[in-house]
């Protein structure tokens, strides 16, 4: 990486050190280790296998601003959010947790990360241990500036009845801000819950979101992780979610990506104990010059794990969609059952999709499959609709809507399905305006 560009990161890191923030020794060491890893590696290039189809030049060349003044949202906006999404709301503005305006459920713990890191030494065994800062430069960068974010702790046996929405609103005053929030979820034994991570933009300034989420499911826990990313087309969105599953736990996720200029959404799930199951679903819809990259990695480490993956992409205009999905079955992870499906539609001759499903199997008692497809709208279906009087563009839009319905149905909860349906329909309108 260009030395002068690297300078901004090291400078910001030094400034943060001398800023007199109090932090436990382990946090400081973790941050230093992360910074060293980041300085050593820099951002990946397209020569790195996992980044072959995503060019980070724009990020690498970017100049970013690390310190921002706190901004408060107008009261009306908060009320609107509460009305729109109901009860449990955790609000972040420009990457910073705003406790005053959040409304939290009673039976679970939601703590701002700075406070949690200071008061809970036991976090050392989780924070930064699951997200791989050695391999992933964005994790390293986020960890080097660890501080903002939230800890969500669902105690043993507790059920979070109403989904908790984490609303990340970006409203920077100047171009080039970087926000690096961190989410840590500890789902206790036999607990259950759902969170929605929602990233959106308020203003029209360019900025860079670099978020890391770590989710730990203890024995028998059941947890849903929904994500909506509709940031502005001037934003970079780099996100990774790291899930660790203990015995008998169940995890499911659903990620809708419609926004940002350049996105990378990584999801790693470690099935670290026996009899775990996970289901990852998602949809990426691009238009204009958007570049949306969805990656997954499911690591079957112990016997009788089950994983399901279902992702679809729909690209219009000059947008580019990328999918990379790896299933690793380690020696000894017998009776693994893993499937992965990735299907993509291209709506324009200038759009492009690259898909790379990967199966890596190191034992024999398994049942694994993957399927990937890229193609156009079904020609005879377009004809069928048009022969019933529906115009060409509408026919395309209806078929595209049908194409994504299957993956929307995989979202288990109605509130989220409805939200998906609405957001997807909106995005399709925009996509078909361009095609």
Partner 1 sequence: MTDAGSFLNKEYQHGFVTKVDSETSPRGLNEDIIRFISQKKKEPKFLLDWRLDAYRGWLKMKEPTWARVTYPPIDYQNIIYYSAPKQKKGGPKSLEEVDREILRTYEKLGIPLEEQKRLAGVAVDAVFDSVSVATTFKEKLKEYGVIFCSFSEAVQKHPDLIRKYLGSVVPVTDNYFAALNSAVFSDGSFCYVPKGVRCPMELSTYFRINAMETGQFERTLIVADEGSVVSYLEGCTAPVRDKNQLHAAVVELVAHEKAQIKYSTVQNWYPGDKDGKGGIYNFVTKRGICRGAYSKISWTQVETGSAITWKYPSCILQGDHSVGEFYSVAVVNNHQQADTGTKMIHLGKNTRSTILSKGISARFGKNTYRGRVRILPQATGARNYTQCDSLLMGAQCSANTFPSIEVSNKTSRAEHEATTSRINEDQLFYCKQRGMSADNAISVIVHGFCKEVFKNLPMEFAVEASKLLGVTLEGSVG
Partner 2 sequence: MLEIKDLHVSVEGVEILKGIDLKVRAGEVHAIMGPNGSGKSTLTRVLAGHPAYQVTKGSVTYEGKDLFALSIEERARQGVFLAFQYPVDIPGVNNAYFLKAALNEIRKAKGLDELDAMEFLEFLKEKMKTVEMDESFLNRPVNEGFSGGEKKRNEILQMAVLNPKLAILDETDSGLDIDALKIISEGINRLRSPDRSIILVTHYQRILNYITPDHIHVLMGGKIVKSGGKDLALQLEEKGYEWVKET
Would you count residue 289 as binding partner 1 (CB under 8 A)? no
Instruction: Look at residue 358 and give the partner it binds from partner 1, partner 2, none, a contact being a CB closer than 5 to 8 Å depending on partner kind.
Output: partner 1
**Which residue in the set 21, 162, 373, 433 belongs to the binding site for partner 1 (CB under 8 A)?**
373
Residues interacting with partner 2, by CB under 8 A?
378-381, 383-392, 394-395, 398-399, 401-406
| Cβ–Cβ under 8 Å, residues 234 and 204 | yes
**Which residue in the set 124, 132, 219, 350 belongs to the binding site for partner 1 (CB under 8 A)?**
350
Instruction: Look at residue 346 and give the partner it binds from partner 1, partner 2, none, a contact being a CB closer than 5 to 8 Å depending on partner kind.
Output: partner 1
- Return d(Cα 259, Cα 26) in angstroms, integer: 36
Would you count residue 351 as binding partner 1 (CB under 8 A)? yes
Determine the number of helices (DSSP H) and then strands (DSSP E) in the chain: 9, 20
Strand, coil or helix: 423: helix
Would you count residue 392 as binding partner 1 (CB under 8 A)? no
Strand, coil or helix: 28: helix
Would you count residue 54 as binding partner 1 (CB under 8 A)? no
Any residues with CB less than 8 A from the CB of 75 and at least 6 apart, and which?
none
Would you count residue 369 as binding partner 1 (CB under 8 A)? yes
* Residue number, 364 or 379, with CB nearest to partner 2: 379
Any residues with CB less than 8 A from the CB of 48 and at least 6 apart, and which?
none
Any residues with CB less than 8 A from the CB of 350 and at least 6 apart, and which?
317, 318
In eight-state DSSP terms, residue 366 is E
* Residue number, 103 or 358, with CB nearest to partner 1: 358
* Residue number, 134 or 367, with CB nearest to partner 1: 367
**Which residue in the set 27, 93, 183, 346 belongs to the binding site for partner 1 (CB under 8 A)?**
346
Query: Least distance in Å: CB of 432 to partner 1?
Result: 13
Instruction: Look at residue 384 and give the partner it binds from partner 1, partner 2, none, a contact being a CB closer than 5 to 8 Å depending on partner kind.
Output: partner 2
Query: Least distance in Å: CB of 285 to partner 2?
Result: 15
Would you count residue 349 as binding partner 1 (CB under 8 A)? yes
SS3 letters across 118-178: HHCHHHHHCCCCCCCCCCCHHHHHHHHCECEEEEEEECCCCECCCCEEEEEEECCCCCCEE
Surface-to-core class of residue 52, CB atoms within 10 Å of its CB (0-12 exposed, 13-18 middle, 19+ buried) = middle
DSSP string, 226-276: EEEEE--TTEEEEEEEEEEE-TT-EEEEEEEE---SEEEEEEEEEE-SSS-
**Which residue in the set 310, 344, 407, 416 belongs to the binding site for partner 1 (CB under 8 A)?**
344
Would you count residue 368 as binding partner 1 (CB under 8 A)? yes
**Which residue in the set 2, 100, 122, 364 belongs to the binding site for partner 1 (CB under 8 A)?**
364
* Residue number, 53 or 189, with CB nearest to partner 1: 53
Instruction: Look at residue 366 and give the partner it binds from partner 2, partner 1, none, a contact being a CB closer than 5 to 8 Å depending on partner kind.
Output: partner 1
Instruction: Look at residue 331 and give the partner it binds from partner 2, partner 1, none, a contact being a CB closer than 5 to 8 Å depending on partner kind.
Output: partner 1
| Cβ–Cβ under 8 Å, residues 260 and 229 | yes
| Cβ–Cβ under 8 Å, residues 283 and 313 | yes
Which of 164, 153, 175, 172 has its CA nearest to residue 96? 172
Instruction: Look at residue 1 and give the partner it binds from partner 1, partner 2, none, a contact being a CB closer than 5 to 8 Å depending on partner kind.
Output: none
Would you count residue 357 as binding partner 1 (CB under 8 A)? yes
94: left (phi over 0), alpha (psi -120 to 50) or beta: left
Residues that bind partner 1 (CB under 8 A): 49, 52-53, 331-332, 334, 344, 346-376
């Amino acid at each position: 990486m260009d030395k002068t560009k690297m300078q901004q990161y090291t400078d910001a890191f030094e400034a943060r050190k001398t800023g007199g923030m109090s932090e436990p020794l382990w946090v400081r060491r973790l941050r230093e280790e992360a910074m060293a890893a980041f300085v050593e590696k820099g951002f990946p290039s397209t020569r790195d296998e996992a980044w072959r189809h995503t060019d980070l030049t724009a990020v690498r060349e970017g100049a970013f601003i690390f310190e921002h003044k706190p901004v408060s949202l107008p009261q009306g906006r908060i009320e609107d959010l509460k009305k729109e999404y109901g009860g449990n709301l955790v609000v972040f503005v420009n990457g910073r947790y705003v406790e005053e305006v959040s409304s939290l459920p009673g039976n679970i713990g939601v703590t701002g990360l700075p406070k949690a890191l200071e008061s809970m030494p036991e976090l050392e065994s989780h924070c930064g241990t699951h997200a791989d800062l050695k391999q992933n430069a964005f994790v390293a960068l986020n960890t080097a500036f660890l501080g903002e974010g939230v800890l969500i702790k669902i105690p043993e046996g507790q059920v979070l009845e109403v989904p908790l929405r984490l609303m990340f609103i970006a409203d920077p005053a100047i171009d080039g801000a970087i926000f690096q929030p961190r989410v840590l979820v500890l789902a206790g034994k036999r607990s259950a819950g759902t969170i929605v991570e929602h990233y959106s933009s308020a203003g029209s300034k360019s900025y860079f979101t670099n978020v890391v989420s770590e989710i730990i499911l203890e024995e028998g826990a059941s947890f849903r992780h929904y994500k909506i990313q509709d940031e502005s087309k001037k934003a970079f969105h780099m996100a990774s979610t790291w899930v660790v599953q203990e015995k008998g736990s169940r995890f499911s996720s659903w990620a809708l990506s419609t926004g940002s200029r350049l996105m990378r959404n990584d999801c790693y799930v470690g099935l670290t104990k026996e009899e775990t199951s996970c289901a990852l679903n998602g949809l990426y819809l691009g238009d204009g010059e958007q570049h949306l990259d969805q990656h997954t990695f499911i690591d079957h480490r112990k016997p009788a794990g089950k994983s399901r993956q279902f992702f679809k992409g729909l690209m219009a205009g000059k947008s580019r969609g990328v999918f990379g999905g790896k299933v690793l079955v380690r020696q000894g992870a017998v009776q693994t059952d893993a499937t992965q499906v990735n299907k993509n539609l291209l709506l324009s001759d200038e759009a492009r999709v690259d898909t790379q499903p990967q199966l890596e199997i190191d034992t024999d008692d398994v049942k694994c499959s993957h399927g990937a497809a890229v193609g156009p709208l079904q020609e005879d279906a377009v004809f069928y609709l048009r022969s019933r009087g529906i115009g060409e563009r509408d026919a395309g839009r209806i078929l595209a809507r049908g194409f994504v319905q299957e993956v929307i149905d995989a979202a288990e909860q109605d509130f989220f399905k409805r939200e998906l349906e609405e957001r997807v329909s909106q995005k399709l309108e925009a996509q078909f305006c361009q095609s």
